[in-house]
Structure 1
Amino acid sequence: MPNYRRRYGEGGTFAFTVCLADRRQTTLTDNIGIMREAYRATCRDAPFRTLAICVLPNHLHAVWTLPEGDADYSRRWRSFKLRVTHAIGRRVWQPRYWEHTIRDGGDLANHVNYVHYNPVKHGHAENMDDWPHSSWHRWKRSNAWSPPPEDMPL
């Protein structure tokens, strides 16, 4: 087993991929109400800012910014995954998840775009507007997303 180390940055911005234990299942979109409530409760208990999120049938992607002085995204993911598991009543998740520390504005733009385009990439939708479980709709409505400058520190 590899010696895996996570990189933590207090108040940093991170991109995540969290997957089902059985990638053939469609548990996440089949239980979208449970997913949403677990996510809200997790954010309420340990606040963070969601810059982008997309829930697909068997995995999800998210980009978070943590509060200054807080580097504990692991606790948040553990809490979220436990809430979903308890609500569904069976093992749901792979034990680990993938994370990436966002380095600058260009990296942030690339990851937000990746998150929003993922349903199209996987053939779940013809375009981003067609996938209902994505923050793309919020960005589009508010016209809030314009990529920050490449050299913008986060």
Structure 2
Amino acid sequence: MSDVIPPKARGAAHFFTVRLRDPSSDLLVREVARLRQATRMTRARYPFDIDAIVVLPGTVHTLWSVPADDNDISHRWTLLKSLFSRGLRGAANRTPAQALRGDKAIWQRRIWHHVIRDSDDLERHRRMIHAAPVQAGLVARPQDWLFTSLHRDLALRHREDTPAAPPPFSRMRNKTVASRPAATSPAQ
């Protein structure tokens, strides 16, 4: 990936595919908590929004929106990959040069990066992210995959489509009952 982002891409949405060096590895799903922590720490230092994401055993597909005034994507990915790799053993087949540099040879060096052009392009990439587990043969339906933002999107859509439920009766305060005069019993 180039360190230079075209000026027209500043503040735009970006699609990424990031892969492990070993395509048969399931490290990302085994260590998904570590990946989430690395992502949180990276976002704290270099803010970005995750518009959509799917974590497959050896691949991450994601859509990010970055601030218009800070489009340093390469530092974000370098930090995220480094934070994820800390504490993990390096690949057994890494070269002496990689070992000398401290490169654990866990990640592919390059990532696939695409600047989103318009809302149609954004929606196409979002659908591709959601369909990735099915295309990889991991599940029959996208919603059956655990490590995807599809669940968040479905929950948001459900909340938007469903009117707010009334508060539970135990939390309601019926002030009109308290302000009514006490019922008088008929004179005997």
TM norm structure 2: 0.72
Q: In the alignment, does 2:167 pair up with 1:118? A: no
Q: In the alignment, does 2:113 pair up with 1:99? A: yes
| Identity among equivalent pairs (%) | 33
Letter in 1 for 2:42: T
What do the CA deviations read for 1:44-80 (whole angstroms, capped 9, x no partner)? 1111011001000011000001012121111100000
Report the counterpart of residue 71 of structure 2 in structure 1. Answer: 71
Q: Which runs of 5+ in 1 are unaligned?
A: 145-154
Structure whose CA Rg is larger: 2
How many residue pairs match? The answer is 141
- Structure 1 position 7, deviation (Å): 3.9
| Matched-pair contact (CA < 8 Å) for 2:16–2:111 | yes
Letter in 2 for 1:112: R
Deviates more, 1:132-141 or 1:80-89: 80-89
| Matched-pair contact (CA < 8 Å) for 1:7–1:101 | no
Distance in 2 (alpha carbons) for counterparts of 1:54 and 1:43: 17
Q: CA RMSD in A?
A: 1.4
| Matched-pair contact (CA < 8 Å) for 1:15–1:111 | yes
Report the counterpart of residue 152 of structure 1 in structure 2. Answer: none
TM norm structure 1: 0.87
Q: Which runs of 4+ in 1 moved over 6 A?
A: none
Q: Which has the higher contact order (CA 8 A, sep 6+)?
A: 1
